[in-house]
């Protein structure tokens, strides 16, 4: 009973002291990096469910539904075949130009879609962010996952195109799997970095299409990569070879095609691809985590 | 006796060993500033105006800062139910979001015990997806395991009553009436157990039958939770559930005390203006 005589032993303490005394934690504090990784892992079911939901929702108003997942790349390939294969009859010194073009196009589209989705991953989901508690990195990762599923459908289409274009089916095709996994890690890092940038600078959304178009021309999608060496000064051609998207496109061409013009031998491309994936994946993740507390302020 | 209180029972006791009340939420001089992007106002969003702003280095007029909460301080203790009163736009919902850690405080600090949960009507759901998929997604987002979700999904759908008039749970949410959507959202949010529970106007959804059911559910949640905050414009439901009330006006606390004293003051203020 003696203790209850003290009316309020906590009077005179500041909020922070009182909080420390009773073990309260700061609301919405940023978790440490390891615990953030653990949180993210425990939300893996949410991430995959969210990615799937986005995929289903994007087709829900179309009568053909998820058939568009295959129809979209197929239509894309048909348009490019019409323009480059029939009207312009571009060969550009490449014997199997259509397979060459579609490989580049589908790999590039993966990153392009992730970038434009990643920029809006935070700014376009403020309702969700302000209503529920979850590690925010779930959103850019889910964007990557959704587009990864689109890529898988494109690869089925691509395999058909490449075979029809006269390429043989070889054991090397299995290298497609590590190639797209590396690209997916690269893309996830990119999406996280851009999600944080996009949450602050809302004008970024308007700039992205132009950046991506420039990037496309630097990645040798629509023409043979031989053009870089032919038309660029030496240092610029060297620089273009480091372009991560060119690297991932070449990895795919190495895997699927017997004789395609490439800028670098396979080993070099694999090392570059691995390096880019680790660098961008880790830096993007850490950069995103550092802003965790800020998301949601509009 | 104090020594006999073990860690397990201490969690459910409302006072500490020395007889002091245990704080669960400490709000310490909190300011919250929103940055709002206004829609294009006439004349301010023309290319010429935008260029002039760029050249003169002026702030774009489409971004406005809203000082929603201005220096609010209070401490909530275990076992308390606190009603938040105030006219529209007084900062109640903003404050709740900040306590839930969903909106960062611009200045000051908020300390909480465990992770507070905000039970609101605006938990974002996907309109293109079926009600059932939304339930799964919402539960996963609240941190439930897939096994828990599987087990709870039928209960949640039953509680929401959306299947009372045929099988609506497999239809996209955009086909729902606003009342049905609100009922489903509430049912999802109320499916979880909470340490500190923040309820934002969630009781106002649905018809009378659903309101009775949801008030019952909130009482159950209150019994499980340590501290409950309730935002409502229905004075009666604050009188029924809260013994303490905080009255916010324009982001500043006007009164903080027993509901019986604060509510009459608030009613007088609302009737005057």
Instruction: Say whether A134 and B143 touch across the interface (CB within 8 A).
Output: yes
A159-177 CB burial, b ≥16 within 10 A, e <16: eebbeebebeeeeeeebbe
* Chain A partners within 8 Å of B75 (Cβ): 15, 18
What is the distance in angstroms between the Cα of A153 and the nearest Cα belonging to chain B?
Answer: 22
Instruction: Say whether A61 and B140 touch across the interface (CB within 8 A).
Output: no
Q: What's the CATH code, domain B78-272?
A: 3.40.50.300
B207-245 CB burial, b ≥16 within 10 A, e <16: eeebbebbeebbeebbeebbbbbbbbeebebbeebbebb
Instruction: Say whether B111 and A15 touch across the interface (CB within 8 A).
Output: yes
Q: B17 pLDDT band (50/70/90 cuts)?
A: low
Cβ within 8 Å of residue A257, ≥6 positions away: A96, A99, A100, A103, A162, A167
Contact (Cβ atoms closer than 8 angstroms) between residue A126 and residue A195: no
**What's the average model confidence in pLDDT over A124-128?**
80
Query: Is A12 within the bounds of a domain?
Result: no
Write out pLDDT tens, residues B52-81. 777 776 666 667 778 888 888 888 888 788
Query: Is A21 within the bounds of a domain?
Result: no
pLDDT, greater one: A287 or B249: A287
What is the distance in angstroms between the Cα of A242 and the nearest Cα belonging to chain B?
Answer: 35
Chain B CB within 8 Å of residue A7 CB: no
Chain B CB within 8 Å of residue A66 CB: no
Instruction: Say whether A43 and B109 touch across the interface (CB within 8 A).
Output: no
Rounded to 5 degrees, what are φ and ψ at B45?
A: -115, 15
Instruction: Say whether A25 and B20 touch across the interface (CB within 8 A).
Output: no
What is the distance in angstroms between the Cα of B260 and the nearest Cα belonging to chain A?
Answer: 23
Q: What angle do CA A8, A11, A14 make, to 5 degrees?
A: 145
Query: Is A2 within the bounds of a domain?
Result: no
Domain range for residue A39? 28-294
Query: Is A188 within the bounds of a domain?
Result: yes
> Edge-to-edge strand order for the sheet containing A25-26?
A25-26, B107-112, B23-37, B63-77
Give the mutation candidate from A10, A13, A27 for the B interface (greatest B CB count, under 10 A).
A27
Write out pLDDT tens, residues A149-182. 999 999 998 898 888 877 888 888 999 999 999 9
Query: Is A5 within the bounds of a domain?
Result: no
Q: How many domains is chain A partitioned into structurally?
A: 1
Share of chain B above pLDDT 70, in %: 82
pLDDT, greater one: A190 or B55: A190
Query: Is A254 within the bounds of a domain?
Result: yes
pLDDT above 60: residue B223 = yes
Query: Is A16 within the bounds of a domain?
Result: no
Domain boundaries, chain B: 78-272
**What's the average model confidence in pLDDT over A6-30?**
68
pLDDT, greater one: A5 or B82: B82
């Amino acid at each position: 009973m003696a203790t209850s005589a003290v009316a309020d032993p906590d009077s005179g303490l500041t909020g922070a002291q009182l909080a420390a005394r009773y073990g309260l934690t700061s609301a919405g504090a940023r978790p440490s990096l390891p615990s953030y990784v653990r949180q993210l892992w425990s939300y893996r079911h949410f991430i995959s469910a969210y990615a799937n939901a986005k995929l289903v929702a994007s087709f829900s108003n179309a009568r053909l539904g998820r058939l568009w997942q295959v129809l979209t790349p197929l239509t894309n390939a048909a348009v490019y075949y019409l323009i480059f294969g029939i009207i312009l009859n571009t060969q550009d010194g490449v014997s199997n130009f259509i397979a060459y073009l579609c490989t580049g196009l589908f790999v590039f589209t993966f990153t392009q879609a992730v970038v434009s989705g990643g920029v809006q991953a935070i700014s376009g989901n403020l309702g969700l962010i302000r209503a529920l508690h979850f590690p925010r990195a779930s959103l850019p990762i889910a964007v990557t996952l959704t587009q990864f599923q689109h890529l898988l459908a494109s690869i089925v289409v691509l395999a058909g195109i490449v075979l029809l274009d006269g390429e043989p089916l070889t054991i090397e095709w299995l290298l497609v799997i590590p190639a797209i996994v590396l690209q997916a890690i690269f893309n996830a890092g990119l999406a996280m970095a851009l999600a944080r940038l996009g949450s602050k600078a809302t004008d970024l959304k308007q700039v992205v299409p132009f950046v991506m178009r420039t990037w496309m021309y630097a990645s040798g999608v629509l023409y043979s990569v031989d053009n870089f060496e032919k038309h660029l000064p030496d240092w610029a051609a060297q620089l273009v070879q480091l372009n991560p998207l060119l690297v991932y496109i070449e990895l795919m061409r190495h895997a699927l095609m017997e004789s395609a013009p490439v800028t670098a031998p396979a080993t070099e491309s694999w090392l570059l691809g691995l390096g880019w994936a680790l660098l961008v994946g880790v830096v993007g993740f850490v950069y995103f985590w550092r802003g965790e507390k800020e998301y949601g302020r509009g | 006796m104090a020594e006999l209180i073990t860690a397990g029972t201490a969690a459910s006791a409302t006072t500490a060993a020395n007889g002091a009340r245990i704080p669960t939420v400490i709000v310490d001089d909190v300011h919250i500033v929103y940055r709002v992007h206004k829609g294009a106002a006439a004349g301010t969003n023309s290319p010429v105006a935008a260029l002039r702003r760029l050249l003169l280095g002026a702030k774009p007029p489409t971004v406005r800062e809203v000082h929603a909460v201005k220096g609010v301080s209070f401490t909530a203790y275990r076992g308390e139910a606190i009603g938040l009163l105030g006219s529209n736009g007084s900062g109640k919902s903003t404050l709740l979001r900040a306590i839930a850690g969903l909106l960062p405080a611009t200045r000051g600090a908020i300390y909480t015990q465990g992770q507070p949960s905000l039970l609101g009507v605006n938990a974002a759901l996907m309109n293109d997806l079926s009600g059932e998929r939304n339930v799964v997604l919402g539960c996963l987002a609240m941190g439930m395991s897939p096994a828990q979700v599987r087990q709870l999904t039928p209960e949640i759908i039953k509680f929401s009553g959306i299947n009372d008039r045929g099988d609506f749970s497999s239809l996209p949410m955009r086909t729902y009436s606003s009342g049905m959507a609100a009922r489903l959202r509430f049912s999802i949010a109320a499916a979880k157990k909470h340490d500190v529970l923040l309820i934002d106007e969630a009781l106002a959804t649905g018809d009378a039958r659903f309101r009775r059911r949801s008030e019952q559910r909130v009482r159950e949640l209150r019994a499980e939770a340590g501290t409950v905050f309730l935002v409502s414009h229905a004075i009666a439901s604050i009188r029924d559930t809260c013994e303490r009330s905080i009255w916010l006006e324009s982001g500043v606390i006007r009164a903080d005390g027993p509901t019986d004293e604060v509510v009459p003051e608030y009613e007088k203020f609302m009737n005057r203006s």
